[in-house]
Chains A and B, each alone.
Chain A
Amino acid sequence: MEQLAWLAQHPDLGAAISHAKSLSDPLARLYETARLAAYRRDFTQTLRLDRLAQQGIELLVGEGEQSVPGFTALRMAVLASHTVDHLLPGIRVAALQRQVGVSVYLAPYGQYRQALLGDDPALKAFAPQVILLALDAMDSPPSFALHASAEEAENAVQARVEELRLLWRQARARYAAQVIQQTLVPATPALFGHFDALVPGSPRALLERLNNEIRRAAREDGVLLMDLAWSAAGGQYGDGLANPVRWHQAKQLVSPIWAPLYGDQLARIAAAVVGRSRKCLVLDLDNTLWGGVVGDDGVDGLYLGQGSATGEAFLAFQQYAAQLARRGVILAVCSKNDMQVAEAAFDHPEMALKRSDIAAFVANWEDKASNLRRIAEQLNIGLDSLVFVDDNPAERDIVRRELPQVAVPELPDDVADYPARVAAAGYFEAIAFTADDSARVQTYRANGERQAALGQATDMAGYLKGLEMVMQARPIGTAELARATQLINKTNQFNLSTRRYSEVQVQQLADTPGAVALSLRLTDKFGDNGLISVVLARPDTTCAADELFIDTWLMSCRVLGRQAEQAALQVLAQHAATAGYSALIGEYRPSERNAMVAEHYPQLGFVNAPNPDASSPATLWRYPLNASSTFNHHIEIRHD
């Protein structure tokens, strides 16, 4: 069985590795290794690539990430109850493919308890960020009779799980490391056969129970899983990752043949830990999401959905993509089509994907590499966050050559096998899942559409007008207090005075007679931007009685360039005028982070006013309130 089948085939990887050996610069060799690691490779080639990168990794880990631009360093300790030396090259090479340089500390064979329970100066000095506990079913098997009761079996399982939890706690307490626990691969043949699971004390029943309890405990304790038992059972390691000859010969649980796949699986988890998982699935349309070419065959002529096996296969791939979207993977479309024709296909009654599932939709006749760049820009994510799925081998080849950062899986001939292939590649490995992940797609979609609209707009005013922005202004009350206070304390850049207040202080300020305390929200046709600005203004002893002092004005950088500050000024001026003031006094207090708003007040038409405290670096600005003031923006203002 071919492993790493999603990686492209190199015409002569062995020769390329030999050639790369002639590079004298360790960094050049590291970059070349990372490039070649993206090709399908067997364990010998993986071993050779690992040697090639060795000095580069040492440099990265030893001298810091600034020495190897674009790469992240990660120190991983491997504590195992079986031989894993032969697996380390696969881990390092697969990590390099993900721009992660892993340095591995290998504890002495079988000494995982000692490493965590005792003082291990070498491990301490290594300071692991991640600790893999690679255990197996042959290690510490519970010893009791086969006819043990269910309760005895359960007690044995719990005792073992408690021991593991103790080790996990130690790993965290001593090294502050993220633990990855490997599940136990069944190693013994069936004893009863199908009846095994009905005998509580049978090796298979015990092991399944133990693995399930390990998974439950890991969920509770914030431990990640290398779920080798699941991968093996799912056939990812063909007819067996464990070869009994290798076990008897060298206590290898995983046969060297499978080292590239094992390393890839672990490297995905490690990459996820350092935030290097992919984020976005970019889909071609014709013959990828449906059978046929919509421009030629028309929407009604497409193979999609019930009624034909081919149509059902395309539907199944769409359903898989839709499920990925629901777990937080961003979806995008990159297709050679006319935009209207491509979008119209989403009206096909059998489509599992809706137009609204697609965060960035690019259909034109330009080359796909340029369009993938556009998609990354629209979504404001890196090219190295993209996975591009296209049935056309020529397109895949061009994108790989033009944009090596984009992952482009090799695909099987039959679309029925697409979901399994994309899943097997493990692009979107996670370390957490929350309700926010499900909502994320909507946020990206809205931002992507704003960016796309900006790209299409011929003039800025037209773009801003087209956004159909509405600002909701509301005096700060109980409902807004928590969010407003949060924004006051976290906003650094667009913050004129950088005064930090507690909820109680904000409430006091808002309740001061003559004060104006505003929370401003902004929505547009793409969605709700949420609370985007807080303005706190109050009478002050340094000002005249008819002047309102702007104590605090901050805005979220999300809405920069949208003229929201003009609209906010209009709201403030209206409130101040209503309260009987005839001028606003603004203050800019420079901080290390707020240089971007140094010209905020003059740009809004404020005039410099002398600061009575001559020693202060702060500048004061005066804005006369009169009915003839005009405000330059395209935002509809609503007062709640």
Chain B
Amino acid sequence: MTDARLRLLILSVLTLPLAACGPPPPEGLSGDWRAQLDLAGGPLQFQMHLTDGEELSGRLCNGDRCDPYSRVERLPGDSLVLEIGDYAAAIRVSVRGDSLVGFYRNVGNRGPRTIPLTAIRGTWPASTPSEGLIGRWDATFNPDDRPSPRVLDFRRTERGLEGTIVSNTGDYGLFWGGVEGDAFRMSHFDGSFVYMLDGELSGDTLRGIFHAGLTSQRPFVAVRSTGEPHLTPPTEMVQADTTSAFEFAFPDLNGDLVTNEDPRFQDKVVIVEIFGTWCPTCHDSGPIMVKLYDMFRDRGLEIVGLAYEVTGDPEIDGELVARYRDKFGIEFPLLLAGVNDSDSPRATQPQLDGPIAYPTMIFLDRSGRVRRVHSGFYGPALGAVSEELEAELIAFTEGLLTED
């Protein structure tokens, strides 16, 4: 850590209210911490868990989904650095009595950015949302200029109000939060994306603000979905060449070339998943891929993941993909296919056409031809919709396996 960064940590502690000062708690830091990022538009809530033993470890929780910090370091002066390796970000806090005070830091193309952070012991209380909020809403972001369609999907859970925002290319991951009357505030913070949605139901219309990062705010207005399509499903936007076998040839994490002509893929049903370790929705689809593999590998299913990563540097990208593999216990090959944006898979996959979302699943039959492209993914944040998608993918895969 450079002097400048350490100084940043030291000085951030000076922002503590004096009432919070005091020695660290005798019982250590173990337990749940109710944390918040102080955005310009209000506090974004999330949950942390620390385990204070010989080594300090911890998890960052967004709703019921928790991911371990890649590294936790204790610094002099009761300060901690909690690194979020997947996203090259970190939380830096100091212990003050029964509080943690500091900031979340990441680095953009225009330099480092920080958001103030505080935490106290405990968990955020759940509140019960009114029936009027629950369900699907057809939303328009920026209704006055550059309008852009979204779908909001809200449901009631034991943690309060949960749901997600869906765009043409997939969902924004799980949002969770609380309500007060017909007003609501929901957050999504996974260590990389800082999103908050707050609003209020007035009559039959939702109005509110979508917050991104420290200061960005976009208004939205939403009406209850009628069932008519409000978005263009990404799956309908992708076309595939089905006249010949689908081809791929990329290095695996050892640098060995893996191609569709390798024996392990011959006469097999194959799912090719285009993904990125930086993509939150891909962390939702990863467990489904593992489940499909466990269910059907003995019946002739193979899966291959094509990773489109951050740097294009095999060493750096390889580390990120290996961490992703280990996180989900993936046993099928993951290949370094390129770098991440919507153009990249198109450039390296000439048999696909159209804007490709992350993740995209390409289902090949035993002859190697594309039978289906499923672009985008509905994760657990969408509740029953996600479960329906999972069941449908299982049924489709099984159908391919039973073909002659």
| A pairs with B | no
